């Protein structure tokens, strides 16, 4: 699993950052080619405490606005959906990522 933004961070650094409001998010984007539309998700991105998740998702929103509208009927529908989700800060996947990459010592992991 590729996570953007956690380079050189230890598990303890991640726990501290998440406790202060950091989170892991996935952004969506839509690309259309005539009658075919594709809705995909980005890699997981770490949004540090105090940073704007919507701002980090702006490139995916822009991609959807430029390339997503053209497929009928799903292009416009998925483009609106991805713009709304990304503008709202993306899809929060913090708890799942923290369980997978940096479990707390002494707390059993889900199997």
Residue pLDDT, tens place only, 51-88: 999 999 999 999 999 999 999 899 999 999 999 999 99
Q: Strand 36-47's sheet: what is its strand order?
A: 3-4, 36-47, 23-33, 91-92
Instruction: Read off the pLDDT band of 102 (50, 70, 90).
Output: low
Q: Residue 34's pLDDT is what?
A: 81
Note whether 32 and 75 are within 8 A (CB): yes
Q: Residue 50's pLDDT is what?
A: 95
Give Cα 42 distance to the centre of its chain. 6
Answer with the residue of higher pLDDT: 105 or 69.
69
Q: How many CB atoms lie within 10 A of CB 79?
A: 27
SS3 24: strand
Q: Residue 55's pLDDT is what?
A: 96
Q: Is the pLDDT of residue 111 over 60?
A: no
Q: Residue 106's pLDDT is what?
A: 55
């Amino acid at each position: 699993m590729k996570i953007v933004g956690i380079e050189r961070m230890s598990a303890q650094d991640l726990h501290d950052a998440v406790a202060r409001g950091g989170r892991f998010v996935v952004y969506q984007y839509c690309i259309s080619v005539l009658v075919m539309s594709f809705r995909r998700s980005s890699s997981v991105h770490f949004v540090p405490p105090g940073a704007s998740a919507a701002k980090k998702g702006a490139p995916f929103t822009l991609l959807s606005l430029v390339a997503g509208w053209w497929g009928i009927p799903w292009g416009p529908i998925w483009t609106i959906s991805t713009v709304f989700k990304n503008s709202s800060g993306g899809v929060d996947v913090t708890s799942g990522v923290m369980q997978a990459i940096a479990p707390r010592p002494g707390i059993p992991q889900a199997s």
